[in-house]
Amino acid sequence: MAHHNTNPDRDYDRLQQALDRQVTGAPASAAFTQILRLLYAPDEAALAARLPIRPTRLEALARQLGRPAEELDAQLTRLADRGLVLDLSTAGGRYYALPPVVIGFFEFTFMRARPDLPMKELAALFETYMTEADGQFARAVFQGPTQLGRSLPRESALPDTPTVEVLDYEKASAIIRDARAAAVSLCACRHKASHLDHACDRPQRTCLTFGGSGGMLVDHGLAEAIDKAEALDILAECQAAGLAQTADNVREGVSFICNCCGCCCGMMRAIKEFDLPHAIVTSNWQMEVEYTHCNGCGKCVAACPVGAIHLDERIEERPNGRRHRVRWAVVEPELCLGCGTCSGACKFNGLAMTPRPQRVYTPRNLVERVVAMAVERGKLADTVLGQPEKLSHRAVANVVRAVEHLPPTQAVLAAGAVRSAFLGAVARGAAEFTKTP
């Protein structure tokens, strides 16, 4: 029997609170409550609020919720078809989890045409939610140094020298070629903007997903399966259109590549509108100006998606007495993503990519990234262990909570070698505790 809802307001509040426990958060807001009301029926909100953050096997979930497994499976499948529940199928069975807002049901809502939903209203509500209160949502998502996405350098902009090493996880082409499978869907950000009549003219069929993540989206009609050749063609089209590549912030098992514009992309808008320069992790490269070639045309300024380049100028007096205005580009290294997009706009060889002085930390895999983000945000217990108070080994929960509140945590995470060793140890422990039966 389906859940009998007696207090819809309370269930929507509980769903918001459950989503806020996700590593990227979901602050309370009237706009967000209305989004949940448009996406979830009252009984669905009540069910979703009780779903775990980490994938849980159907049979275990049915026992926890006191529901027949077959009935629960049918309801959760319907929600998964609408992008409101994560549904993972393996040889060991079916697993379900509550998705975050991003990367989660926001993308799942807008990555395809949805005649079943009031898309214009939802677009306006998401725009309000993502920008209101001085970007409180963006600040929840992008707090801390570890982020969901990292910038990929444009390979054509990298120096072609044998002494420079570019690892495969840094190359969009290698990520595509190494993927088990590929899928494409609409760019959620540009699709949302199109319903508000202010989308740019860049292509929208550009969001690439790989492996099991792509398969899940294809299974639920959220994405279209494509071969690797078409994925490479889409990548080339996006680069020709001046889009920057933002990938899953992991070294192994990269699950997505977004092709981002500075005007519509939520991550890039957070950088520019809310002064969150680390909303996207930089690549291991940065752009430098070759001043002997730069003529100050300003095309690189227009091409940079995050406003990391500006023009300086001075007035020079020539021997004939005439005054001459000289302009040149200046890259702000603290803002430069190292995406290389500007290089495609420069016709005078005035830009060159150089390695950053220190390599950027990239989590090994999804578990390590989630652990890093959770530690930084004080959410390790909820994110990794689910409900630690229900674990028989209560000492584990106590240690986890102690780690979350240690004052030196941020300092430890910021130290390169120590950081990797610390996260590796925690991630290995987390992987053991999060194994499903």
CATH code for 1-98?
A: 1.10.10
Q: Is the distance from CB of 244 to CB of 260 less than 8 angstroms?
A: yes
CA dist., res. 337 & res. 341, Å (int)? 10
Say whether the peptide bond before residue 35 is cis (omega within 30 degrees of 0).
no
How much is the average pLDDT of 246-268? 97
The yes-or-no verdict on residue 191 having pLDDT over 60 is yes
**pLDDT value of position 414:** 31
Q: What residue spans define the domains of the chain?
A: 1-98, 101-287+334-362, 366-433
pTM for the model:
0.87
The confidence band for 280, taking pLDDT boundaries of 50, 70 and 90, is: very high
pLDDT in tens, 125-140: 999 999 999 999 999 9
Better-predicted residue by pLDDT, 57 or 383: 57
The confidence band for 376, taking pLDDT boundaries of 50, 70 and 90, is: confident
pLDDT in tens, 344-368: 999 999 999 999 999 998 988 888 8
**pLDDT value of position 413:** 42
pLDDT in tens, 47-105: 999 999 888 999 999 999 999 999 999 999 999 999 999 998 887 789 999 999 999 99
Long-range (24+ apart) CB contacts under 8 A made by 410-415 are: 410/376, 413/145, 413/146, 413/372, 413/375, 413/376, 414/145
pLDDT in tens, 101-123: 999 999 999 999 999 999 999 99
pLDDT in tens, 228-242: 999 999 999 999 999
The confidence band for 381, taking pLDDT boundaries of 50, 70 and 90, is: low
| Coil, helix or strand at residue 87 | strand
Which residue(s) pair with 257 in the sheet? 208, 247
**pLDDT value of position 391:** 40
CA dist., res. 28 & res. 20, Å (int)? 8
**pLDDT value of position 373:** 85
| Coil, helix or strand at residue 339 | coil
**pLDDT value of position 57:** 92
- ∠ CA 305-375-210, nearest 5°, is 50
